[in-house]
Structure 1
Amino acid sequence: MAKVSAVIVTYNRLPMLKEAIAALQAVEPKLSHLIVIDNKSEQDTQDYLESLGDSITYVRMSENLGGAGGFNAGIRYFYEQTDDDYVWVMDDDTMVHPDSLQPLTAFAEQNPNFGFLASKVMFSDGKPSVRNVLRQYGTYKTTLNTEFKEPVRIENATFVSSFFSRDIVRQIGLPITEFFIWIDDLEYTERAGRIAPGYLVPASSVTHKMRSNTEDDITNDIERRLPWYFNMYRNRVYTMRKRDFFRHMRGNGKIAWDFLRLIFVRTDHKKKRFDTMISGIKTGRKFKPTIEFPKDK
């Protein structure tokens, strides 16, 4: 039977983390390892995770390296410290179901030539999660996860529930720590998809327990979160540079649309929003982050 490590990255969301861990411990087949990467959360999170003892593998970071750095550390631990066949990665607001894992392992065993697999992601009210709508490979439009009943090839996926083989990690390396937040999952799954096709497996479903079922949007987000959008646009431009001509131009169109909306929308701190976007775009054109590779055991 295939052995699976799950990697969950957390930062100061203890109530949600408790729920996510309990859900992972209830999946069938049982996980070989449950690796929790803690981005130096407050003491209450550390105390709770230490209280779980050997039921999890607890890795506490020396500093907060964002989701990207956390997934880098988690996938590295899977590759270097276990002999498991697959790694299943997710955020701490991903709530798996008892039957979420089995369709992924079954597909992987029957179709070993894959770059990545992704679950169908739903919001808490049972509707599709708009942050996790996937694009069928080779098509012009995004489609809702519920439109697919059978596995289908997709362009990329998020780290809400993504699944990789040990061999793919060996070939493509680790998520880019320098991304810090946002787009790290799209870049990583696209990197895997250049080795072998990636698939949505609709029989595997998870719940994304977000505050609201909306997309991150620089035109209306609160001021406190605006600096993060520098990462979004820098990382997006870098990722677009790796794509084919059509997908590169489509990405440019998305950025242009964001820019036009910001011109005409009524919002506060408009100059700060423009400055953040433009700075991220300019930096992304010359951004050359390091892609790290794990060491073989």
Structure 2
Amino acid sequence: MSVVALVVTYNRLNLLKECLDGIGSQVVDTIVVDNASTDGTKEYLDSLDKTCFKVIHLAKNTGGSGGFFTGIKFFMENYKSDYLWLMDDDTIPKKDTLAKLLEVIPSIDEFGFLASNVRFTDGTPALMNIPVVDPLDWNEFGYKGEFLPVIKSASFVSLLLPRTIIQRVGLPYKEFFIWGDDSEYTSRISATTTSYFVPESLVIHKMSQNIGVDIVNDDTDRISRYYYLFRNKVFLARKKHGRSKVKTFAGMGLEVLQVGLGHKVTHRMSKLLVMTRGIISGCFFNPKISYVHKN
């Protein structure tokens, strides 16, 4: 089983170095997509061994979704390897992270993707990366179960994709920029092919804080990014039907009410403006799925 790693990076040089050190000798080939970094990342990447690293420098920051779109497409067009191992630049793999993913493959049938167990730096589950699993059996230490849980969606933080699946379902929406591209893509995959969470495959998501995506309680400097979240959510909701569609729109409406009427909400007007812009934009947002030809 041959595997190529894919890392998308933007202005996090020190974390990128840790990420690539963590990947180490687990793979022979690594693709790095640089989203127009300005912190010395370009110079560092250009100094790497060209026989092991393929570096793609983008002319502008296309966000995580654009970076993964570019990297996955490049993999499909330039490699014949069986699997692609995806991660962000702040993902720090353990020495056996990939081995733990690969060792379960002989015991399962065809799979859509395999997702690692993502932890924060203190060992607790990373709140941004808790997958949607069935059965849902999480405690303070993570998932505990006898069998691999079937998974519905996951993040691009140590995800193993078969090339046959990429050929089948196409590429992620590059237009999403950030937030929602990974959950949409993995949901698209799991809707066609059973996918699994692998608890023994551990990685560290080295975020500055272990916080999830929650505009109501978010008190960081990333409020403007929620524009993309709500735009993308409205686009995906428009594609749904029946109760699922109603539930999604109702959930967004509840978030607007919580921001507008909540007693302890900070940056209230900024949040309401961002949400409104995102929701309106989502009504006219119409990206299309791109497919790749067989290599």
- Please name the residue that 2:94 is paired with: 97
Listed as ranges, the matches of 1:145-184 within 5 Å are: 146-149=142-145, 150-184=147-181
The SS at the match of 1:203 is strand
Say if 2:31 is the partner of 1:35.
yes
Give how far 1:256 is off: 3.5
For the Cα contact (< 8 Å) 2:3–2:84, is it kept in 1? yes
Q: Distance in 2 between matches of 1:204 and 1:248?
A: 34
Give how far 1:109 is off: 3.8
Q: Distance in 2 between matches of 1:112 and 1:198?
A: 10
2:277 pairs, out of 279, 283, 287, with: 279
CA gap of 1:112–1:58, structure 2 versus 1, over 3 A, is farther
Q: Which amino acid aligns with 1:41?
A: S
Structure 2 unmatched runs, 5+:
none
Relative to the length of structure 1, the TM-score reads 0.90
Q: Distance in 1 between matches of 2:210 and 2:201?
A: 20
The SS at the match of 2:236 is helix
Q: Over the residues paired in the alignment, what is the CA RMSD in angstroms?
A: 2.1
- Please name the residue that 1:204 is paired with: 201
Say if 2:49 is the partner of 1:50.
no
For the Cα contact (< 8 Å) 2:219–2:266, is it kept in 1? no
The SS at the match of 2:142 is helix
Give how far 1:112 is off: 4.1
- Please name the residue that 1:10 is paired with: 9
The SS at the match of 1:115 is coil
Give how far 1:102 is off: 1.4
- Please name the residue that 1:255 is paired with: 252
Give how far 1:106 is off: 2.4
For the Cα contact (< 8 Å) 2:137–2:143, is it kept in 1? no
Q: Which amino acid aligns with 2:8?
A: V
Runs of 4 or more above 6 Å deviation: none
| More divergent stretch after superposition (283-292 vs 3-12) | 283-292
For the Cα contact (< 8 Å) 2:11–2:39, is it kept in 1? no
For the Cα contact (< 8 Å) 1:37–1:70, is it kept in 2? yes
The SS at the match of 1:136 is strand
Q: Which amino acid aligns with 1:88?
A: W
Structure 1 unmatched runs, 5+:
none
The SS at the match of 2:150 is strand
Give how far 1:278 is off: 2.1
For the Cα contact (< 8 Å) 1:87–1:164, is it kept in 2? yes
Q: Percent identical across equivalent pairs?
A: 36
